[in-house]
């Protein structure tokens, strides 16, 4: 999967540099080192608070509200795209959504593509705490991922995950209240979402609680019970377990908006992807 993505990125990088805004809350030598590496692909503008101070070798925009400024620069097309970086994610996104308007903001899709410590690669359908809490949200997010995968020539294999085992659900499915009732609902939604995509002609299965089974079975679209669980997968796989965040894009928007985990230290790949993405949109 990475080879396909790398081929697309490298092909679009040949079209030239793009101007990319990167949010930086405070100086971090590892992050700055990665941004220096990324300068071969992009003209990078660092946006941060006034106390950040100038960062040697970079154009810097220092303001009281860097989240609002980064969003404004993207909206005004002062940059070709942004990597959110280490400034606040929700403040940045909310500022941008206000600028583009409610209707366009509703069309946003999240694309989180990860690589685990064994080199296995997959998308997580929802990795933001507030999202993915309903069957409808899950379906919408998966459809956005499938659309993106098709552009890359990838074939989706979908694994939905529940909060209870298959046999436990069968024994307790009549319980509708309390924690057991909540777990039963996640199982039913996992079944319904998998069935929805099977009817669409895709390979999809409810793996109950067996996330490891879904990965071992080669699923490349993993569907958590909700965004809070997905967020913890994201952190466990990449920030603790030795994996890597390949892309974390907010797609289907008027501009190139690449997100990330603020705990990351290496932003080179995010910048490369943002440049390639921006170049692909140029006529």
CB-based contacts of 44: which residues, under 8 Å, 6+ apart?
Answer: 19, 20, 21, 22, 35, 38, 58, 59, 271
Q: What is the pLDDT of residue 148?
A: 85
Distances (CA, A) of 157 to 71, 106, 145, 160, 267: 34, 26, 11, 10, 28
Q: Are 110 and 141 in contact (CB under 8 A)?
A: yes
Q: What is the pLDDT of residue 174?
A: 96
Report how far residue 256's alpha carbon sits from residue 130's, in angstroms, rounded to the nearest whole number.
22
Residue 124 dihedral angles phi and psi, to the nearest 5°: -105, 125
* Nearest residue to 125 via CA among 222, 258, 260: 222
pTM over 0.85: no
Q: Residue 160: which H helix or E strand, with range?
A: strand 157-160
Q: What is the pLDDT of residue 66?
A: 98
Is the pLDDT confidence value at 168 over 90?
yes
Q: What is the pLDDT of residue 283?
A: 66
User: How deeply is 74 buried, as exposed, middle or buried, from its count of CB atoms within 10 A (0-12, 13-18, 19+)?
Assistant: buried
DSSP code of residue 19: E
Any idea which of 30-44, 77-91, 166-180, 227-241 has the lowest mean pLDDT? 227-241
Pairing of strands 109-115, 121-124: antiparallel
Regarding the domain delimited by 109-249, which CATH topology (the fold level of the hierarchy) does it fall under? Isopropylmalate Dehydrogenase (3.40.718)
Of residues 120 and 160, more confidence is placed in 160
CATH code for the domain defined by 1-108+253-283? 3.40.50.10950
Report how far residue 39's alpha carbon sits from residue 35's, in angstroms, rounded to the nearest whole number.
6
Strand partners, 1: none
Q: How many CA atoms lie within 13 A of 191 on its CB side?
A: 12
Distances (CA, A) of 229 to 57, 130, 209: 39, 10, 12
Angle value at C-alpha 144, between 190 and 102, nearest 5 degrees: 105
Report how far residue 158's alpha carbon sits from residue 264's, in angstroms, rounded to the nearest whole number.
27
Chain segment 3-26, per-residue pLDDT in tens: 667 888 898 999 999 999 999 999
Report how far residue 19's alpha carbon sits from residue 39's, in angstroms, rounded to the nearest whole number.
10
Q: Structural domain boundaries of the chain? A: 1-108+253-283, 109-249
Q: What is the pLDDT of residue 2?
A: 54
Reading the block at residue 68, the tokens are 């609002």
What is the average pLDDT value for the chain, to the nearest integer? 93
Is the pLDDT confidence value at 259 over 80?
yes
User: How deeply is 276 buried, as exposed, middle or buried, from its count of CB atoms within 10 A (0-12, 13-18, 19+)?
Assistant: buried
Spacing of C-alpha 222 from chain mean position: 13
Q: What is the pLDDT of residue 3?
A: 63
Report how far residue 234's alpha carbon sits from residue 123's, in angstroms, rounded to the nearest whole number.
10
Chain segment 94-138, per-residue pLDDT in tens: 999 999 999 999 888 888 888 899 888 899 998 888 889 999 999
Is the pLDDT confidence value at 1 over 80?
no
Q: How much of the chain exceeds pLDDT 70, in percent?
A: 98
């Amino acid at each position: 999967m990475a080879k396909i993505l790398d081929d697309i990125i490298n092909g679009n990088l040949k079209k030239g540099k793009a101007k990319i805004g990167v949010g930086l809350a405070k100086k971090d030598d590892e992050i700055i080192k990665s941004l220096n590496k990324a300068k071969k692909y992009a003209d990078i503008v660092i946006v941060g608070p006034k106390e950040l101070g100038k960062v040697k070798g970079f154009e810097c925009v220092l303001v009281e509200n860097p989240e609002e400024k980064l969003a404004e620069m993207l909206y005004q097309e002062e940059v070709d795209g942004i990597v959110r970086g280490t400034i606040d994610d929700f403040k940045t996104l909310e500022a941008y959504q206000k600028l583009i308007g409610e209707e366009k903001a509703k069309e946003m899709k999240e694309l989180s593509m990860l690589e685990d410590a064994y080199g296995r690669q997959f998308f997580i359908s929802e990795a933001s705490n507030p999202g993915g809490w309903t069957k409808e949200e899950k379906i919408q997010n998966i459809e956005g991922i499938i659309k993106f995968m098709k552009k890359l020539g990838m074939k989706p294999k979908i694994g939905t995950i529940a909060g209870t085992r298959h046999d436990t659900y069968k024994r307790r499915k009549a319980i509708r209240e309390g924690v057991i009732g909540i777990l039963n609902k996640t199982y039913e939604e996992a079944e319904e979402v998998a069935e929805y995509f099977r009817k669409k002609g895709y390979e999809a299965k409810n793996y109950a609680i067996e996330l490891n089974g879904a990965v071992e079975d080669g699923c490349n679209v993993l569907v958590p019970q909700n965004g809070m669980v997905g967020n913890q997968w994201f952190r466990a796989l990449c920030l603790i377990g030795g994996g890597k965040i390949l892309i974390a894009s907010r797609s289907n928007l008027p501009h190139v908006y690449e997100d990330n985990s603020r705990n990351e230290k290496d932003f080179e790949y995010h910048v490369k992807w943002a440049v390639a993405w921006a170049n692909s949109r140029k006529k």
